[in-house]
Structure 1
Amino acid sequence: MLFDNHNRPITYLRLAVTDRCNLRCFYCMPEAGIRYLPKQQLLTYEEMERLVAVLARMGVSKLRLTGGEPFVRAGLMGFLERLSVIPGMDELHMTTNGVLTAPHVADMARLGIKSVNLSLDTLDRARFHQITRRDELPAVLTTLDELLAHNIRVKINAVVMDGQNTQDLFALAELARNQPIDVRFIEEMPFNGEGNHYPVLTWTHQRILAELKSFYPDLQPRPAAPHATATTWQAPGHVGTMGIIAAYTRTFCGSCNRIRLTAQGTLKTCLYDNGVLDVRALLRSGATNDDLTAAFLKAFAHRPKNGFEAEAHRPEVTESMSTIGG
C-alpha cells in the first residue's frame, strides 16, 4: 500500500491523455477556447504507459483516463489495449463527453472498462448547445444508450450552474428511475480558464440536496463507498442512484485517494494545487524507474491536507479543467 503524509492511501490515478476538447463548456473554458499545447509538449502514449506501470508497482490499482476529451486523441483504443494488461492496474475507467465515444463502446466493454463518467449537464437540446457551445446532444445520448446496452456502469456528471441548467435537475435525476445510472450533481469549480463565475457559490451541495428532496421527499441516503467523492441517495423505486459532489466546498478531502497526471506530465496531488512535479522533464532527462519512484514518493510525502491548503499556496485559480484533466 502507498500512503501520503496524512496516512491516506494513494490508489487512484486520473490520467489526462490530451488537453484538447471538441466542446466549449461554460464551466470548463472560455468561448474562444484555450491555447492548446504543441504536441511535443504532451506526454507520448509510451511515456504514459511507463508512468502507469511504475505507479502500479507502487500500489496504484485504479486508473481513469480523462482529457480534455480522450477520444479526440488518435490511437486511444490501442493505448487502452496496452493499459488493460499492465500488472497491478486492476480497474480501468474513463471520463468522456460522449460526442465521439459510441463507435468504441463495444471494444471498451471487451477491454473490461469498469465504468464511464459521462458529462451531461442537461437533456434539453437548446440548453445543451448554450452550455457546451456545440449542438451535440444526440451524439451524447447515443453513447449513453450504447454504454447501457453493453452493461458498462454509467455515472452521469452534471455540473450545477446558476442561470444555466438548474431547471434540469429533475429530468436528469429521472434517468435513474428505470436504468442503473448514477446521476451525480457537482458544485461548479473555478477551473474554466477565467476564475470564479460567481462572487458566491449559491448552488452548494446543501442546496442541490434540498432541490432533490423537493422532487423526492422520501430520498434515502446510501452507504458511502470508501474514498467516494459523492454522497449518494436513492429514491424509492428507482433502479439507479443520485449523488452530490461537493467539489467546491471540498468536504471529502480527508479520504482522498487520488492523484492526477496532466497531459503535459505535471503531477497534481490535489486538484487545487499548482502542480508539484514535472514528470515529463524527469522522463526526458533519462530518469530510471527507480528515480521516478523516488520522485513520486517525495511528492506524496508533502501532500496538502485538503484543497483549501493547496489553493492557499498558489496564485489565483484560472486554468481550464481541460488543461488539468477532469
Structure 2
Amino acid sequence: MIEFPSAFAKPRPALTDGFCRRISYLRVSVTDRCDFRCTYCMSERVRFLPRKDVLSLEELDRLCSVFVALGVTKLRVTGGEPLVRRDILQFFRAMSRHLDSGALGELTLTTNGSQLARHAAELAACGVRRVNVSLDTLDAARFEGLTRRGRLAPVLEGIGAARAAGLRVKINTVALKGFTEDELFPLVEWCGAEGHDLTFIEIMPFGEDGPEGRIDRFWPLTDLRARLARRFTLQPLAQSTGGPARYVRLAETGQKIGLITPLSHNFCEGCNRVRLTCTGELYPCLGQDGTSDLRAVLRATADDRALEQAIRAAIARKPRGHDFDHSCGTADGAMRRGMNHTGG
C-alpha cells in the first residue's frame, strides 16, 4: 500500500498573481494517455510520454498537497483520460484526506466516461461529488468517427453508474461547426430528461496537426446561443462555479446551460486557476507557452519550502490573459501542443 507524505503543518498565505487574482483552483493532469483519439484534441498518431517522465502518484500527491497548503480549494483531475492510469484511485484516496480536514473544498475530475462505470462508486467513496463527462454526440456512428476508436454505449453506461453512485454529472460538449449544430437540440433535450447540466465550449487552437485547420470547425457560441434563444427563453444567471463558464437557464425546462467562450469572449479577468501537467510543468495560463518546471524541484529536494518558492514564483509570472483570436479568420494565439499534454 502506498503511503503518502503530509503537507505543511500550517497553511501559508494565499497564492496571488501580479494582477491581484487569487489562485484557488488547480487542474492536475495525471497522464497524457487516452483510450480515445478525439479529432479536436489529439493526433491519431500521438506519441505518448516515456513512463520515467511522468510523475509518480506519490509525487503528484506531494505537489498537490503543497498547493492545498497554499490555499487551493478546488482540485480537478484531468488527462489524457485520468481513469486509464493504473492505480489512479489511490491518488483520489490520498486527496480525500484534504477533504476530510476541510482544507480542500472540492475534488472532481473530467473524463471521457469510458472507464466511469467501474470506478464511479469508489470515486464517490473518496469524496468526489460531481464529474464532467466529455460528450459531443448521442449518435453511435458519429461518436466512433469523432473519437476514432471510442464506443458510445460504455460512456452512457458510465454516466448511468455515476448517477447511481450519487455523483452529479455535467456534460461538456465542444461546439463544432457542421457537427454540434446538428446535435444542439438533441443534447439539450437528453440532458434535460436525464437531469444533467450541459456546457458548450468553443474549440480551442491546440494540436500538433496544425491548429490553423480548426478555423473551419470554429462555431462561435454567440451563434449557438442565438439558436437556443429562438426555441427557448434564456435567463442569464449570475452563478459562478469558479470556472470560465457563463450560465443561462432555459425558462421552459429549468435547465442550466453553460457557455465557455475562450475565443469569442475571453474570461481572463477573473481567472483563478493554473494547470499542472503529468510531467510537473506548471502552466499559469492555458493559452500561453510559459511554464515552470516543478518536477526538477520536486526531485531535487525533500524540502517543501523549495516547492512553495517555485510555485509562488510561477504564479507571479501568470499573464493577464491569452491571445486566442479567430475573428480575422486566422488561428492567432494557436498552441502546437496537444490538450492531452496540457491537461483538459
Deviations 1:46-89 (A, max 9, x none): 01100111111110111000000011110011111011103412
Q: Label 1:198 to 1:11 Cα distance change in 2 as closer, same or farther (>3 A).
A: same
Aligned to 1:51: 63
Does the CA contact (< 8 Å) of 1:92 and 1:114 recur in 2?
yes
Partner Cα separation in structure 1 for residue 231 and residue 254 of structure 2 = 16
Tell me what 1:38 maps to: 50
1:154 match: secondary structure: strand
Write the distance in 2 (CA, Å) between the matches of 1:186 and 1:94: 17
Instruction: Report Cα offsets for 1:103-144 as digits up to 9, x if no partner.
Output: 111111112202101000010111111111124100110111
Cα distance in 2 for partners of 1:125, 1:226 equals 31
Q: Name the structure 2 match of 1:154.
A: 169
Aligned pair partner of 1:206 in 185, 197, 222: 222
Mapped pair 1:305 → 2:320: yes
Provide the C-alpha distance between the structure 1 equivalents of 2:180 and 2:333, rounded to a whole number of angstroms.
Answer: 30
Distance (whole Å) between structure 1 residues aligned to residue 340 and residue 248 of structure 2: 29
Aligned to 2:337: 319
Tell me the residue number matched to 2:187: 172
Equivalent residues, number: 320
2:212 aligned counterpart, secondary structure: coil
User: Percent identity among equivalent residues?
Assistant: 39
Alignment-derived partner of residue 295 in structure 1: 310
Distance 1:108 1:227 in 2: 22
2:306 maps to a residue whose letter is D
| Aligned CA distance change for structure 1 residues 103 and 152 (closer, same or farther; 3 Å) | same
Letter in 1 for 2:129: K
Matched residues in 2 for 1:120 and 1:305: separation?
A: 31
Runs of at least 4 residues of structure 1 off by over 6 A? none
How far 1:211 moved relative to its partner? 1.9
**Equivalent-residue separation in structure 2 for 1:77 and 1:140 (angstroms):** 19
TM-score under structure 1 length normalisation: 0.93
For 1:281 and 1:143, the matched residues in 2 are separated by 37
Q: TM-score, normalised by structure 2?
A: 0.88
| Shift in CA distance, 41/65, structure 1 to aligned 2, threshold 3 Å | same
Q: How does 1:1-326 map to 2 (within 5 A)?
A: 1-32=14-45, 34-86=46-98, 87=101, 88-194=103-209, 195-199=211-215, 202-216=218-232, 218-225=233-240, 227-286=242-301, 288-308=303-323, 317-326=335-344
Asked if the contact 1:176–1:241 (Cα under 8 Å) also holds between the matched residues in 2, the reply is no
Q: Separation in 2 of the partners of 1:116 and 1:275?
A: 29
Are 1:272 and 1:307, in contact at CA under 8 Å, matched by a contact in 2?
yes
- Using a 3 Å threshold, how does the CA distance of structure 1 residues 226 and 156 change in structure 2: closer, same or farther? closer
**8 Å contact kept, 1:28–1:193:** no
- Per-residue deviation, 1:250: 4.8
**C-alpha displacement of 1:164:** 3.0
Q: Is the 8 A contact 2:197 2:257 kept in 1?
A: yes
The one-letter amino acid paired with 1:292 is L
Task: Note the residue ranges of structure 2 that are not aligned, 5 or more in a row.
Answer: 1-13, 325-331
Identify unmatched segments of 5+ residues in structure 1: none
Partner AA of 1:212 in structure 2? L
Secondary structure, aligned partner of 1:74: coil
